[in-house]
Structure 1
């Protein structure tokens, strides 16, 4: 529901909100410019002294105004001709034209009414209302994605457009709420929808009938500093019944022009003070720094509009449309989805359709929207949970475990948890297992035992569906066709072969970059933007299930490169290692933001064996800033599978690679990469103690050995691999 409240005002009022924000940002500059340019009154100058100076220069002065910026403007008549000027307070003389800035006037009319009068004012008010809804709903969505309000600035992951959208929103949302709400207040005041609340002084019962009081001798003028002045209006010449009208930051009063006596006074009401404060907050008049800050915030609106549109289009392409989704309060079955790349939503759509056809009313939502108090009619709750990285929650499940832990009791409706993952990874369905364990600890009744789906297997899903149908007492056949990202054709341009001598055929395959559209470049989808360490999904002939390989190159390298080892009976590896230059494969890119070198100058310790060298070589190749990189690489024999052996000396000479340590496992004295680590204990302990980041890529057995070796190395320092992982300084990409 919150997502819909956020999406539709943004899409429907996109142009209006953008105009409102850009014109507001432009207008925010003028109060600051006026504050800088306006001559300021010296400290201690009173209204009486200022008025004397001005009247000495302009005897026909009728009014003196002081704007919130401190600019003083005088208006007069000279031989029947009106005049006006910005005043230098020190002399009382005009120093600049008082005519309004034409650009400011044009922008103000655009901002307030689109040059359309009252109808335009109503339209812009609707734009402000849409902006307020967007800001409030966006804040709720940011908190949900971050895992709660306390984690507002938690690190993000996901596509670039989504991360930019949230990063800007984190900073801009408070300013946008302020700007939009004050705009609505001012519009309501313009159309008299709010009470006036102002009080004017009582009309003087009698005046002295005299004229000519010295301005600097009038007590009220002599005691009022210029900084408090709003406006001083002079009596009409020759009219002995007229009076001075003094408006200040405290109120309004009438002064006798002959005696200077205060005839009546009315303090500024609380309502007037609120109105003035709201005007100041919205326009920046009297608070130039705040105005500039809100103007900068407003510039985030067009950026969020663009990224939001990209997110919407990407969501429509990447997530299947679930038709007939019932409200949570009326659904018999609740489906909660935890997905990182979007594939789990496809399984949810298949399950939703099958349950609906069987007569169930079903509600589907992300796990991050878990709200058990809303599931008033639920007979069962089903969680479909993928796993991110080393057992972490995927993007759409952020905060689920925290919400479950915070509930006083588990829902009455029994729970079934289905995990999605890849058995080749050590943390296979780790998050789903964590959900099942947390539910059991909470006393949540079980509908089905925890089950898992390996590599998006439609057969596993159908088997689980039959078990679910038996428990529900319905005939449930789940026929799932995986929804894959948009694929592209990659053409092989070169290959380098290794490993034949040790019966482990391995190849470095380099593909040409596919052509990409401007839209995909802006959106950063497909191969329009990628980094070493991202994953390439390749669809082998004869299988609908993709196989994933780590990229050894980035977009800026100008090619797509992977390292592939041929496995006995391996469908995809067999096809890839048989490719010749000019052959093509069908592939797509999947982000892998958890396996990145990170920013900064902290040293990198890269550890890999066999084909695990691929992304590590990509990191070294990209190290143009000469960050200290220490590479530990395990191979079978340097004469057969020394992958990237030709490039290593060049990278060292160029300063991209600080140190290379190799381990050879075939020969008279087998030496593995974990042995190489133990042989460098002192240097490694020093590097890690000083902040180095460890990155491991390769087989899970190798990764386990590396973890054990580092645990031994770090024991004297008080550090552990688990602690480094918790700090984000130890990351793995293992298979």
Structure 2
């Protein structure tokens, strides 16, 4: 519901919001320009200012001071009304009091689209749409971040997503303020709000005398120009007419013959509120704030553009699910947690099969989970991938938190199906966590938790049979995985290792393709990546990609991976056949959980075999010379010492502080965890001083490294688990 409330006002009122934001941003410049160009007269009293102006313009009728400090005078000359900006030092006119034509035109455009009341109503609708977008956007950012306290947590995703959310984080407060104040001012314009209590001043008459010089009036002498709003002069021919002085503190009437204060009125609370809202919206009286709000308004065109890109990319990526009924009318609710979009394909297949069996089905992202909407649901089916080690995928952010805090388990039964790659240690960990939490909260499980490995149609069909049996249906799920969008990469060079120790390994370097900006904006190109991100390679005869950690970043100007040949390996076998000039189909997937980061904290890198790939990328990118210590395990230095020459060169130029190797087939065999234990004092010192540990390689190696670190860190009161909780121990394990 929140997502819909955010999406449709933006799509429907997009052009109107652009006009509002751009015109508002331009108008915010005028108050600060006026402030800087105005001659200030704050040291003068109102009496002195009035005397100087009256000396030059004896027929002056009113003096006004704008919030910027600009002084204007109004008088009649031969029966013709005149107005001018006044130099307070001389009382002479220095410019026209009318706003310049462009400012006047821009103000009319901003308030009414150059029309009358109809235009004001349209712009009010735009302000209302802006308010809805700001409120719903705030809720969506909090949901995406995992709570209000993580408002500024790091983002992942394509450039359009990051740009959209980063700008919203900064600008949403200003947009809320601008849209709310715009609606208030519109309501006042159309008399939709009460006028507030009337002034206590009634009609006041003078004492019948005229002619007292303004320079001699005590009230005017005691009123500094900095407090002046306006001073209206009486008609000298009418002895009952009076001076009217308006200041920040209130309104007073003065006898024109004696200068005596005849009446005084404080502004009402309602007037103060209205004036404050006018100031906050226009910037008149708060020019710096107005300029800040104007800059925030400039974010709207960017957010509108990136928002449309995100909507269009999501619309294209998500399978067209026909017959998707409303949540309140569905017997079966199908919730999808997907990162790259492949899980949505399985959801579409399931939706079609259930609908064909006579079920009413509603499919939606897990992030839209709202049990109160599922009034007729008899079952909730969850299909979810896992992001990284065990995190929620993009369309399931915040789901677990909402699941844990439900007041009671719904009556609808639940089934959870996880999608992942069994070669990774975090296989289906998020989906498993969903199933575990639901059972702990008392949900009735329709079928036991199951998983689908590497998008296996057979695994999916087997689960479908169990689901159908539990529902009393004949359910056949014949799914064909959709081949992801990929791009050709041309091989530049290859280096072969490990044949002598029966571990054939290659370092492949591909040319960096030039992706169009619109592809990079939607995260579909190769415009922005760092070492530790993943390269998805599509074998010729498969729609299921294989992922390899990148050993290079965008700034290196090439794409590099390290591959070991597996017996009967479909993808690795194809990669080993490549020669310079050959091409593969691949795509980029970001992996922010295994990035070296940009801070200066020391790094302890631990890897074995092909796990050296991203670690070498971290060292190659270490232009700032942060302290890095590497522990690398291999079989034999004469056969599979990957990046041997580069490591020595990086050590000489300061990118790598020191590296230690462990060879399992040397004369004295040892493993990388043995190398760690040999440097236990140094490792403990670095960790105590804030170092971050990054481990990459096989799961057995990672388990040995974790055990060794537990022994090394115990004397200083730390454990790998504590470091992991602090984000100082991360793994990329396969």
Q: TM-score range by the shorter chain?
A: over 0.9
1:99 Cα deviation from its structure 2 partner: 4.3
* Bigger mean CA deviation after superposition, 303-312 or 568-577: 303-312
1:527 Cα deviation from its structure 2 partner: 2.0
Where does residue 11 of structure 1 map in the other structure?
Answer: 11
For 1:100-111, list aligned pairs within 5 A. Answer: 100-111=99-110
Over residues 125-159 of structure 1, what are the superposed CA-to-partner deviations in whole Å (9 max), with x where a residue is unaligned? 23222211211111111122122334323333222
* 1:424 partnered with 2:427: no
Where does residue 125 of structure 1 map in the other structure?
Answer: 124
For 1:630-649, list aligned pairs within 5 A. Answer: 630-649=629-648
Where does residue 301 of structure 1 map in the other structure?
Answer: 300
Over residues 204-241 of structure 1, what are the superposed CA-to-partner deviations in whole Å (9 max), with x where a residue is unaligned? 46543321123244454345443332211112343334
Over residues 26-85 of structure 1, what are the superposed CA-to-partner deviations in whole Å (9 max), with x where a residue is unaligned? 222222233333333445x54334323432343232211111223222233456666544
1:178 Cα deviation from its structure 2 partner: 0.9
What is the rounded CA distance, in whole Å, between the counterparts of 1:615 and 1:546 in structure 2?
19
Over residues 393-416 of structure 1, what are the superposed CA-to-partner deviations in whole Å (9 max), with x where a residue is unaligned? 222222222222222221121211
The change in CA–CA distance for 1:220 and 1:485 in structure 2 (over 3 A counts) is farther
- 8 Å CA contact 1:204, 1:264 repeated in 2: no
Where does residue 34 of structure 1 map in the other structure?
Answer: 34
- 8 Å CA contact 1:338, 1:385 repeated in 2: yes
Where does residue 166 of structure 1 map in the other structure?
Answer: 165
- 8 Å CA contact 2:161, 2:310 repeated in 1: yes
For 1:687-698, list aligned pairs within 5 A. Answer: 687-698=686-697
What is the rounded CA distance, in whole Å, between the counterparts of 1:358 and 1:224 in structure 2?
84
What is the rounded CA distance, in whole Å, between the counterparts of 2:716 and 2:299 in structure 1?
45
* Bigger mean CA deviation after superposition, 137-146 or 183-192: 183-192
1:565 Cα deviation from its structure 2 partner: 0.8
Question: What TM-score comes out, normalization by structure 1 length?
Answer: 0.94
What is the rounded CA distance, in whole Å, between the counterparts of 2:153 and 2:617 in structure 1?
28
SS of corresponding position for 2:636: coil
* 1:504 partnered with 2:498: no
1:571 Cα deviation from its structure 2 partner: 1.3
* 1:316 partnered with 2:324: no
SS of corresponding position for 2:348: helix
What is the rounded CA distance, in whole Å, between the counterparts of 2:205 and 2:722 in structure 1?
84
* Bigger mean CA deviation after superposition, 493-502 or 102-111: 102-111
* 1:394 partnered with 2:359: no
- 8 Å CA contact 1:201, 1:252 repeated in 2: no
Unaligned 5+ runs, structure 2: none
SS of corresponding position for 1:52: helix
* 1:284 partnered with 2:283: yes
SS of corresponding position for 2:69: coil
Where does residue 54 of structure 1 map in the other structure?
Answer: 53
Over residues 522-570 of structure 1, what are the superposed CA-to-partner deviations in whole Å (9 max), with x where a residue is unaligned? 4342223322211122222332221111122222322222111111111
The change in CA–CA distance for 1:724 and 1:166 in structure 2 (over 3 A counts) is same
For 1:259-658, list aligned pairs within 5 A. Answer: 259-658=258-657
The change in CA–CA distance for 1:235 and 1:568 in structure 2 (over 3 A counts) is same
SS of corresponding position for 2:704: helix
Over residues 286-344 of structure 1, what are the superposed CA-to-partner deviations in whole Å (9 max), with x where a residue is unaligned? 12232122122212212212221221222123222333333322221122222222222
Unaligned 5+ runs, structure 1: none
SS of corresponding position for 2:140: helix
The change in CA–CA distance for 1:694 and 1:522 in structure 2 (over 3 A counts) is same
Where does residue 210 of structure 1 map in the other structure?
Answer: 209
Where does residue 152 of structure 1 map in the other structure?
Answer: 151
SS of corresponding position for 2:424: coil
- 8 Å CA contact 1:114, 1:120 repeated in 2: yes
1:688 Cα deviation from its structure 2 partner: 1.5
Over residues 561-601 of structure 1, what are the superposed CA-to-partner deviations in whole Å (9 max), with x where a residue is unaligned? 21111111111111111122222222222111211111111
- 8 Å CA contact 1:162, 1:311 repeated in 2: yes
* Bigger mean CA deviation after superposition, 310-319 or 662-671: 310-319
Where does residue 226 of structure 1 map in the other structure?
Answer: 225
- 8 Å CA contact 1:42, 1:90 repeated in 2: no
* Bigger mean CA deviation after superposition, 513-522 or 619-628: 513-522
What is the rounded CA distance, in whole Å, between the counterparts of 1:720 and 1:205 in structure 2?
83
* Bigger mean CA deviation after superposition, 96-105 or 609-618: 96-105
* 1:20 partnered with 2:33: no
What is the rounded CA distance, in whole Å, between the counterparts of 2:34 and 2:263 in structure 1?
34
SS of corresponding position for 1:301: helix
What is the rounded CA distance, in whole Å, between the counterparts of 2:695 and 2:287 in structure 1?
52
What is the rounded CA distance, in whole Å, between the counterparts of 2:372 and 2:121 in structure 1?
39
Over residues 467-492 of structure 1, what are the superposed CA-to-partner deviations in whole Å (9 max), with x where a residue is unaligned? 10110111111122223431112222
- 8 Å CA contact 1:663, 1:671 repeated in 2: yes
The change in CA–CA distance for 1:53 and 1:413 in structure 2 (over 3 A counts) is same
Question: What TM-score comes out, normalization by structure 2 length?
Answer: 0.94
- 8 Å CA contact 2:199, 2:268 repeated in 1: no
- 8 Å CA contact 1:204, 1:263 repeated in 2: no
1:500 Cα deviation from its structure 2 partner: 0.9
The change in CA–CA distance for 1:659 and 1:306 in structure 2 (over 3 A counts) is farther
* Bigger mean CA deviation after superposition, 500-509 or 141-150: 141-150
* Bigger mean CA deviation after superposition, 15-24 or 559-568: 15-24
1:459 Cα deviation from its structure 2 partner: 1.0
The change in CA–CA distance for 1:317 and 1:558 in structure 2 (over 3 A counts) is farther
- 8 Å CA contact 1:145, 1:396 repeated in 2: no
SS of corresponding position for 1:155: coil
The change in CA–CA distance for 1:324 and 1:227 in structure 2 (over 3 A counts) is farther
The change in CA–CA distance for 1:358 and 1:686 in structure 2 (over 3 A counts) is same
Report the number of matched residues: 734
The change in CA–CA distance for 1:205 and 1:126 in structure 2 (over 3 A counts) is closer
- 8 Å CA contact 1:165, 1:307 repeated in 2: yes
SS of corresponding position for 1:368: helix
* Bigger mean CA deviation after superposition, 282-291 or 392-401: 392-401
What is the rounded CA distance, in whole Å, between the counterparts of 1:321 and 1:229 in structure 2?
65
What is the rounded CA distance, in whole Å, between the counterparts of 1:59 and 1:510 in structure 2?
86
1:100 Cα deviation from its structure 2 partner: 2.4
What is the rounded CA distance, in whole Å, between the counterparts of 1:93 and 1:319 in structure 2?
69
Where does residue 243 of structure 2 map in the other structure?
Answer: 244
